[in-house]
A = this chain, B = another copy of it.
């Protein structure tokens, strides 16, 4: 049986910090004198006290090293427990959300999915809007740390190719995570600040600039208004495109860039492929719009650019209702959401490097068919990639697609139509945000779907954000047996 106390100790500590973080929206609501601050004080108190209590209760089992099982439990545990407490302000606050809606919104925030069940966002107390932004921002950096430290060690979905050389001894995952989080968070904060300044310079008011910077850099997609980015001018939208793209790059490259070496960023093959895919996608979408309308205004170009990048990076902002762009645009954007950004970014979905490896694996298959006794070496960015990594990536893809299928059927069982079920499953598992169709499309909202579907989608977000296998591994008997 796994000793869960070391896991409880870490989650307790994180919860306590999370409780303290709720003081930021509290201060804002105090400053705004809207009387809503009490909600955050209460939420903060509950979260902080339970966190401290949990940490203290588990303190005697504190370990410097976590076992493999405990690492799995910790990763899933954080993304399961934090949303429960993150939901408190939505449940008790001005949104007066029911438990399912509050939890959905919190999970959508912390997984950087960005699907929202709230409407009339403009009228919400600013503390709540800030809290939504903070959830995505925390989720974003959490995901980078998971992608850089946890997934490579847990050998999830081929992420082991990103295992850093100097870190071979298993068990030091917590000190390593703290160290990485430290070095990344400076960059993360820096990019967020740059994004906020750029938004402000482009004409956003300061509060919106800060919150949208948070949800941009996290490729989260929560906006402060129901109109999402259609509420903002051209310059703001171009700024968003730049920062959405930056947020989909591996953050470790920015750390290296800050240290003075641009080489790793420029030579990273997934970065190049990402920009290649983005270029092709935007060109195709511009072409589609041009054929559709017969001419191309700057506004039409910008709409094609903005929404393509938004979906490809899994951010999920909308600057137009692209459901009106004809079937081809819809089909393309559906599959673009299944591509995603680079590993080690805040972007989600299957990710560019997996497609690279899948392509190599399939080419190797075909070569193997031709030369049954040939031995073929596969390299990725100069490093040799073993067959175990390729299997791991292919298994990830299979599990991802089968999960979309199963989740679609489950959503269908709750009464959603075909397009809503399928695109809802995909958008949740890929943490994109908007789905297709009138209900959950860019012009729709998740508010109208039934509660069971909301629980299912929230589960899908969690599973997708943790690259599926981390969560699924917990459901094996083998996991608990020893």
A interface list, Cβ under 8 A from B:
68-69, 154-156, 326-328, 330-332, 334-335, 338, 358, 361-363, 365-370, 372, 387-388, 390-392, 394-395, 397-399, 401-402, 405, 408-409, 411-413, 415-422, 436, 469, 472-473, 476, 478-479
Contacts and interface: CB of A to CB of B under 8 A. Distances in A.
Contact of A369 (B154, B394, B411): B154
Contact of A478 (B326, B367, B408): B367
Residue of A338, A369, A419, A469 most packed against chain B (CB within 10 A): A369
A301 to B, nearest CB: 20
Given A327-B416, A358-B398, A338 B405 contact: yes
Nearest to A335: B405
Residue of A68, A155, A366, A469 most packed against chain B (CB within 10 A): A366
Contact of A394 (B155, B335, B366, B398): B398
One complex includes copies of this chain to the number of 2
B478 A362 contact: no
A405 to B, nearest CB: 5
A477 to B, nearest CB: 11
A369 B469 CA distance: 9
A370 B418 contact: no
22 contacts: A68-B372, A156-B369, A326-B415, A327-B416, A327-B418, A331-B408, A331-B409, A331-B411, A331-B412, A332-B412, A334-B418, A335-B408, A358-B398, A358-B402, A361-B398, A366-B472, A370-B473, A391-B391, A391-B394, A394-B395, A394-B397, A418-B436
A75 to B, nearest CB: 12
Nearest to A416: B327
A184 to B, nearest CB: 25
Ordered nearest first, which 9 A-B pairs have the shortest CB separation?
A331-B412, A394-B394, A327-B417, A328-B412, A365-B395, A330-B418, A335-B405, A401-B401, A366-B473
A145 B301 CA distance: 53
A283 B335 CA distance: 32
Given A391-B387, A395-B394, A328 B366 contact: no
A385 to B, nearest CB: 13
Nearest to A157: B365
Given A370-B479, A469-B366, A361 B328 contact: no
A370 B70 CA distance: 11
A365 B417 CA distance: 34
Contacts of A479: 370
Given A370-B68, A419-B419, A409 B473 contact: no
Contacts of A334: 418
A331 B420 CA distance: 10
Nearest to A155: B369
A194 B411 CA distance: 42
B331 A421 contact: yes
B391 A421 contact: no
A473 B370 CA distance: 8
Nearest to A334: B418
A342 to B, nearest CB: 19
Nearest to A391: B391
